[in-house]
Structure 1
Amino acid sequence: MLYKVLQSINDTLESLGRDINEYHLIPFTYSAIESKRYTREIMAEKNIPISEDDLHATNQLNTKQKKVFDIIFNNVMSDVGGAFFVDGPGGMGKSFLYKVLLAHIGSRGFIGLIVASSGIASSGFLGGRIAHSRFKIPIDGGPGSKCQISFQSSEAELIRNSKIIIWDEAPMADKSAIHVVNKLLGGGRSEQVEESIVSSTLWEHFTKLQLSDNMRARNDPGFMDFLMRIGNGEESTIDRDEIEIPEPMLIPYTILEQSIEDLISYVYPDLNLFENFPFEMMQRIILDPKNDFVDDINSKLIQRIPRDEVPRGPPQHKLVLKINCPVILFRNINPVEGLCNGTRLICKQLAPNVVGTKYTTNVVYDEVLVKASLT
């Protein structure tokens, strides 16, 4: 029993790049059985459920998506290898394409890793992780920096066993992130990148695959055209660098407080749906560039959720929660179980110093209860 407890603790610490012996919990040196040492993260990836919808969705791919799928999938299955950059504005179906690719690779018993440059993007995939968390990319990258993964660690073994690595939103990554991951995969030194992936010395090694059909805006071609004109610099401007947003895309402004309430009502028409349809509700989000407005909107949303506040009537520096309130994790607690920076959760239990939450990123993990201590 003692060994099983130590093994469980060490497995969790290894997923965070640490070792149980660093903490001197026991009077002897713990040594994992080599045959079991690398199985936890690998088995966790292999045990990620494969969506039947994604597996049978190849007939839903449009012509260009199918072409990209065939090129990448055939390269992966024939062990040819290669680096591909799937290009296309938002809504072109890149995420859908990645899910279909991962489903087909996983159904054949192989591991496919999916990472993203942001927590919100990674939460849209089963087993998705933020790239910095998965590859232990240093936050302050610079000349000579490298991923904090030992070549003998469980993370390294997982990467070696992976058939494909998909990086969503790669152009949004820090200027050196792609390069340090390339060092990790190649095991050697390389030249420094400039400001982004497209100016990196690695860029010439990517095969560019273009998507141009906006799948997200199929039912609203006018919105698609509007976005494309902005992206191409073709939309007419006001005072050189400002554009006029079409009236149908605006929430009418009256006074500030009422307009914020109208915006919340438009995005979240029924907050009771968090109780029974959390996955559907977590697809909605309000973005704001200013923290004071974020605090105001969050406060108004909390007030609308039909539960009691915990704690009641607090000042701003305290955390206000309710049952069925969505939250985002800001720490890597247990990456193998999906509890990492950017994971989206929903509160289901509230007790003194303890918050019980459930996954909401997908229906597969809906029944998993995660408890976090607050101090």
Structure 2
Amino acid sequence: MLLHIVRGAKSYSNLRTFEGQVYPTFQAACQALGLLGDDREWSFALADAAHWALPYQLRELFVTLLLFCNVTDPSALFEEHMSSIGQDVAYRLNHATLGIDSSAPSLKQYVRSYVLTEIDILLKNAGRTLAHFHLPQPTMQSISIIGNRLLMDEQAYDLDKISIEAADQLGKLNLNQRNIYDAIVNSLDSGTGHTFFVYGYGGTGKTFLWNTLLNSVRAQGKIALAVASSGIASLLLPGGHTPHSRFKIPLDIHEHSLCSIKKNTHLAQLVQQTSLVIWDEAPVNHRHCFEALDRTLRDILASNDPSLANRQFGGITVVLGGDFRQTLLVLPHARKQEILSSSITRSHLWLNCILMRLTENMRLQSSSLSDAYHQRLEEFAEWLLQVGEGAVPDSCPADQDDASWIKIPEYLLLPTEARNLSGCHMDKRKQPASSQTIFTDSTFSLA
């Protein structure tokens, strides 16, 4: 067309020039010259077919129009009818993400990418590609999430809501918590993939710190996995699981165990896109659990980047948390030395673990506490801390060399008249204040 219309052209760029502007393609130059008709006929054809044809049939019709009908602007025609030719994908996404609105920008992008992938397959069967018709390319991350329920669940959070929550929580962190938060975020942003252990006794705000980190990372569209060693503790974390459930850690663990995560599975794809792992109550687990996860993550992530095979946890930032003063892992018929040797502190992973401490008791900062209750709570917290530090005097019975007996302060004991609770159903409103404690004897054993 241009050779017949443009006079005196001395180069291909002259052919694509109209009114001083050089157009990128001959087709664009023809469009500017008014030599091409519009695509209303093809748009009407797709709109009419949408009343009776299935979405996959509409995709086939769209490809037929591209191949045989001289569509002027394929990209505009695609955008105009994308909702109808991708209606089946939007339906599957909407139901797979527990009712999340498929019109949300993030999920809409997944639908668009999936439809482009389907069209590209049809075009390649005919010897053409998306690039041949100047259509946009699909996003690889969006392609991988379609059909992967694990990825879809982790990316189905309401970003606006958790962004507001993260900003609110960030402003409530104390200086100690904020320093730890900044160190972990720096590891994420720089891609260094450090391993942290946040050490703090009960009441120092570990769970609040976990929730702040999870919301902050997820608000950026990244994936953060939260696990806790007990099912009850995992319920305190948004999207929380037990480590055995999330990472398929074997129950019968040994020195050379691996997690049951196979490559090219949905769980492996989830791991490959994970930026942060938070593991609460870590001291309760055997060190072999952490080592099994480390070997598994290195193996899976090295599939895309061989250098990650030499980085702890495959280069993923991992945050462990807990208090070694509390209950350690339980090993049947094990002695103290065996329990200690099974702790994470005896693992080779501990050498590359950054230890950070939480020291401020946030439970005592509540303004709703009365002065008397605040004092009792402070005394109890201080006594527990002393027990954990081994600062409280104890005694060792001759027949129990693995046990220590600790004397409980009188103010923590039930009064004499309330000690026999068997068969007694007291009205909680009539109970004395001291009956809120649970100890009935003046000593207890730390085995």
TM-score bucket (shorter structure) = 0.5 to 0.7
TM-score normalized by structure 2? Answer: 0.48
Among residues 147, 162, 169, which one is paired with 2:274 in the alignment? Answer: 162
Matching of residue 255 in structure 1 with residue 407 in structure 2:
no
CA distance in 2, matches of 1:180, 1:133: 14
**Aligned residue for 1:137?**
249
Match of 1:45 in 2: 154
Higher relative contact order, structure no. (Cα contacts within 8 Å, ≥ 6 residues apart): 1
Which amino acid is the alignment partner of residue 237 of structure 1?
Answer: D
Question: Cα–Cα, structure 1 residues 36 and 114, in superposed 2: closer, same or farther, change >3 Å?
Answer: closer
What CA deviation, in whole Å up to 9, does each residue of 1:243-279 have, x standing for no partner? 23334434443323256x45x948xxxxxxxxxxxxx
Query: In the aligned structure 1, how far is the partner of 2:384 from the partner of 2:166?
Result: 28
Give the counterpart of 2:260 among 131, 145, 148. 148
Distance in structure 2 (CA, Å) of the matches to 1:84 and 1:92: 17
Give the drift of 1:130.
0.1
Does the alignment pair 1:117 with 2:229?
yes
- Of 302, 326, 347 in structure 2, the residue corresponding to residue 200 of structure 1 is 347
Which amino acid letter does the alignment assign opposite residue 230 of structure 1? V
Distance 1:54 1:249, change over 3 A: farther
1:231 alignment counterpart:
388
The verdict on how the C-alpha distance between 1:36 and 1:88 changes in structure 2, with shifts beyond 3 A counting, is closer
CA distance in 2, matches of 1:254, 1:139: 40
Q: In the aligned structure 2, how far is the partner of 1:78 from the partner of 1:238?
A: 51
Residues 258 and 239 of structure 1, relative CA distance in 2, 3 Å threshold? farther
Pairwise mapping of residues 170-319 of structure 1 onto structure 2 (< 5 A)?
A: 170-187=282-299, 194-218=341-365, 219=374, 220-237=377-394, 241-252=404-415, 253-258=418-423, 261-262=425-426, 265=428
8 Å CA contact 2:287–2:346 kept in 1: the answer is no
Measured in 2, the distance between the counterparts of 1:249 and 1:158 equals 48
Asked if the contact 1:217/1:223 (under 8 Å) is kept, the reply is no
Show the counterpart of 1:291.
none
> What's the offset of the Cα at 1:77?
2.0
Which of 58, 69, 82 pairs up with 2:170? 58
Q: 1:96 to 1:53 in 2, by over 3 A?
A: same
Change (3 A) 1:43 1:248: farther
State whether residues 145 and 152 of structure 2, in contact with CA within 8 Å, keep that contact through their aligned partners in structure 1: no
Q: CA deviation at 1:97?
A: 0.6
User: Which structure: larger Rg?
Assistant: 2
Deviations 1:64-109 (A, max 9, x none): 1110001001211222211111111122111111111111111111
Q: Which amino acid aligns with 1:138?
A: P
Partners of 1:178 and 1:213 in 2: CA distance: 28
What percent of counterpart residues are identical?
33
Per-residue CA distance 1:335-365 (angstroms, 9 max, x = gap)? xxxxxxxxxxxxxxxxxxxxxxxxxxxxxxx
Residue by residue over 1:30-63, the C-alpha shift from the partner in whole angstroms, topping out at 9 and shown as x without a partner, is: xxxx755553211201223554444411222111
Q: What is the letter of the counterpart of residue 157 of structure 1?
A: Q
Separation in 2, partners of 1:54, 1:257: 47
Gaps of 5+ in 1: 13-33, 267-285, 287-375
Given that 1:114 and 1:167 are in contact with CA atoms closer than 8 Å, whether structure 2 keeps it comes out as yes
- TM-score, structure 1 normalization: 0.57
**Relative to 1, partners in 2 of residues 1:229 and 1:258: Cα closer, same or farther, differing over 3 Å?**
farther
Counterpart of 1:48 in 2: which secondary structure? Answer: coil
State the 4+ residue runs in structure 1 displaced beyond 6 angstroms: none
> Which consecutive residues of structure 2, in runs of 5 or more, have no partner in the other structure?
1-53, 55-87, 98-142, 300-308, 313-339, 366-373, 398-403, 430-437, 439-447
Q: CA deviation at 1:172?
A: 0.8
Structure 2 equivalent of residue 126 of structure 1? 238
Supply the distance in 1 between the matched residues of 2:147 and 2:353 (Cα, whole angstroms).
31
- Do the aligned partners of residues 238 and 199 (structure 1) sit closer, same or farther apart at CA in structure 2, a change above 3 Å counting? closer
Single out whichever of 40-49 and 170-179 deviates more from structure 2.
40-49
In structure 2, the residue corresponding to 1:140 is in which secondary structure? coil
Q: Deviations over 1:304-357 (max 9, x none)?
A: xxxxxxxxxxxxxxxxxxxxxxxxxxxxxxxxxxxxxxxxxxxxxxxxxxxxxx
Look up the match of 1:74. 186
State the shift of 1:242 in Å.
2.2
**233-242 or 159-168, which deviates more:** 233-242
**SS class of match (1:256):** coil
Deviation at 1:157, TM superposition (A): 0.8
Q: Secondary structure at the match of 1:57?
A: helix
Superposition RMSD in Å: 3.3
Report the 3-state secondary structure (helix = DSSP H, G, I; strand = E; otherwise coil) of the residue aligned with 1:81: coil
Compute the displacement of 1:185 (Å). 1.0
